[in-house]
Amino acid sequence: MTYRIALVCLGNICRSPMAHVVLEDRLAKAGLDDRVEVASSGTGDWHVGHPMDPRAAATLSAAGYDPTRHRARTFSPDWYAENDLLLTMDSSNYADVADHAPTVEQVQQVRMFREFDPEAANGDVDVPDPYYGGDDGFAEVLTMIERTTDELVAQLPDLMDR
């Protein structure tokens, strides 16, 4: 049985696609890529069909990842049926995704991505949006995504058994 994880941010050109690429890499290294599928989307539709933000892609490439396959998509209520776990990048994304839940029970599929971050402190579980900043913001977000993803992958066997 395949476990499906969806990552959601605002435009699906920065944070969620970066997390998507890193998570697929870590799943392959952990030998879980045949049991876990990853998708990403945005709550907004203005970037649909576009590749990843060039700064996000450059940051991933410089770190040894391949960002070339990504094309932005929009989150829809169908994603609840198609995925086991929906991970949002910030509290605004969480609210948007939870508002689309067809049932109250399906809201339980939604969690904040950084809930898995061992360095998240004092309830600060938002991944900052680097879109309006400089290149340093993308590097900071990648570091945050990598450590969060490592912990997520470590916890996946337990999550998959639920």
Catalytic residue status for 9: yes
The C-alpha atoms of residue 152 and residue 140 are separated, in whole angstroms, by 18
> 15, 26, 55, 114: which is the annotated catalytic residue?
15
- Is 129 a catalytic site residue? yes
Sign of CA dihedral 81, 85, 91, 92: negative
Q: Which residues pair with 5 in a beta bridge?
A: 38, 85
Is residue 54 within 8 Å of residue 14, measured between CB atoms? no
| 45-50-55-56 Cα dihedral, nearest 10 degrees | 70
Q: Please tell me which residue in 90, 117, 126, 129 is annotated as part of the active site.
A: 129
Residue of 9, 25, 73, 114 marked catalytic: 9
Residue 57, Cβ density class (10 Å: 0-12 exposed, 13-18 middle, ≥19 buried)? buried
The yes-or-no answer on residue 99 being catalytic is: no
Q: Which residues are designated catalytic? A: 9, 15, 129
